[in-house]
Chain A
Amino acid sequence: MTATANGTDAARDIVVIKDLRKSFGNVEVLKGIDLAVAAGEAVVIVGSSGSGKSTCLRCINRLEEPTGGRITVGGQEITGRKVDLNALRRRIGMVFQGINLYPHMTALGNVTLAMRKVAGLSKAAAEEKARHHLDLVGLAHRADAYPAQLSGGQQQRVGIARAMALEPQVMLFDEPTSALDPELVGEVLNVMMRTKQLGMTMIVVTHEMQFAREVADRVVFMDEGKVLDVGTPHEILVEPRHQRIRDFVNRTRT
């Protein structure tokens, strides 16, 4: 009931992207993206490689600088010169295809670094919270292991814990399982599913169609820098309305 106090759904949108454009030199890779993601929603972005999915995701925490358009996160404009990037990024968790754990720190050290240096928690408080988040990804017993001592799947779960521990308003997943051996993909997807069940707002770029079908509230299909279609997993991946999407789905099914 209280959710309707502001009347519109727009009030519940955590991420709003309007006419997002991005060029690298003369090549325009994003040609006007519009997308709104509501609180607690899991949106999966699919599309062939080169369609601009990752670039779009990376614009949301400004690892890529948008060339045009507007993005708001939690009602705050993130584009523009006056934005405090560090404060913005603290509210946006990111999980990378390349995992990018700090190799010189333990799993616990990886999770606590930003909690201590950005959120300003004491060592003890950060470690307690970090252990909780490592527990959520099933790695409490590996807190003192270095990344090189962990499997790829375990590393990526630490990567998720590192981002989640800052309690972001939205989590961005940039092809989180693409660099993993096939048998390690499942454990990471399970953790992502649990993250969704905890009520986290998620935007996921992935090639895992089964994950998209089972976990996504909505699927966005990107093609050549534009959003070709948005809908339920069924509308996009099971009975696609566009020939291009049907071709894509048939290709990925094999």
Chain B
Amino acid sequence: MDEIIRYFFDFSRLSGYWPDILHGFLITVEMSILTVAIGIPLGLLLAVLRLYGIRPLNALIIFYIDLFRSIPQLVLIILAYFALPFSGLVLSPFTATVVALSMVLSAFAEEIFWAGITSVPKGQWEAGRSTGLGFNQTLAYVVLPQAIRLGIPPLTNRAIGISKGTTLGSVVAVPELLNVTSSIQSNVANPTALTVGAMLFLALFLPFVRFTRWLERAYGHPRH
């Protein structure tokens, strides 16, 4: 027991590192929020565009989502940071990570929204259109609210899973939480920093999970 405390809970070793840890935490928070804030709306946009059935556009969208669902996030981050500069686009490590993760999330989100939209019964479209609502109006007021509601649980899972991929930013030297805490671990030869990192990840993602549970209820409608 003493061993465990000495190895993992020796906070005295961290004095002087707290500002770094806080900075790393804030970067992780920023990257997670940006990934979700870009990835999910982009996924919704792609799903809606796909609904218009424009052949060449749909082929492009499907290529995009299949590509980004297949490539490992780590590979994508490395490509975004090291390969893009050859095409003249230089991204900071932070931006490269956020861009890569948002694209992956948008690809998964598109599939989730698409599944939601196509599982809304045809009769809902017919009811909307029969009252004179246009295609876009029926989509916005009748179909999307139902599709989004269906999509919330799987979207939550994806968003959390991919946001946790912000730790992969360490490979391109983003000073995010895992990167910072694991460097401290090597510096002081004690893994307490990682304990702090783990607790901070919990502090970030638990409220997020809770928030989405609340969202599910808020978007729900009474069944009985």
Contact = CB atoms under 8 A, between A and B. Distances in A.
Interface of A: 61, 63, 85-87, 89-90, 92-94, 96, 98-104, 113-114, 117-119, 146, 148-149, 162-163, 166
B123 A114 contact: no
Nearest to B125: A100
Given A96-B123, A148-B224, A149-B224, A63 B129 contact: yes
A93 B130 CA distance: 7
Interface of B: 121, 123-124, 126-134, 137, 141-142, 145-146, 149, 221-224
B132 A104 contact: no
B223 A89 contact: no
Given A100-B121, A102-B124, A104-B146, A114 B133 contact: yes
Contacts of A99: 123
B221 A148 contact: yes
Contacts of A162: 127, 131
11 contacts: A87-B132, A94-B130, A96-B126, A100-B121, A100-B127, A101-B127, A102-B142, A114-B133, A118-B131, A146-B222, A166-B132
A117 B223 contact: no
Contact of A118 (B126, B133, B223, B224): B133
A114 B127 CA distance: 10
Question: Counting chain A CB atoms within 10 Å of each CB, which of B131, B134, B137, B222 scores highest?
Answer: B131
A100 B224 contact: no
A104 B129 contact: no
A163 B134 CA distance: 16
A21 B142 CA distance: 31
A118 B126 CA distance: 15
A98 B121 contact: yes
B215 to A, nearest CB: 14
A156 B130 CA distance: 15
B121 to A, nearest CB: 7
A89 B127 CA distance: 11
Nearest to A102: B142
Given A100-B121, A102-B142, A104-B149, A86 B126 contact: no
Nearest to B123: A100
A118 to B, nearest CB: 4
Contacts of A166: 131-132
A94 to B, nearest CB: 4
Question: Counting chain B CB atoms within 10 Å of each CB, which of A99, A103, A149 scores highest?
Answer: A103
A63 B130 contact: yes
A24 to B, nearest CB: 15
Contact of A146 (B130, B149, B221): B221
B224 A113 contact: no
Contacts of B134: 86
Contact of A148 (B129, B142, B222): B222
A109 to B, nearest CB: 10
A89 B222 contact: no
B137 to A, nearest CB: 5
Given A94-B127, A113-B141, A114-B128, 5 more contacts: A61-B130, A63-B130, A102-B146, A114-B133, A117-B137
A207 to B, nearest CB: 19
A89 B221 contact: no
A242 B72 CA distance: 71
A163 B129 CA distance: 11
Contacts of B126: 63, 94, 96, 100
A96 B221 contact: no
Q: Which 9 A-B pairs have the closest CB atoms?
A: A90-B132, A114-B131, A100-B127, A100-B123, A94-B130, A118-B132, A98-B123, A89-B132, A86-B132
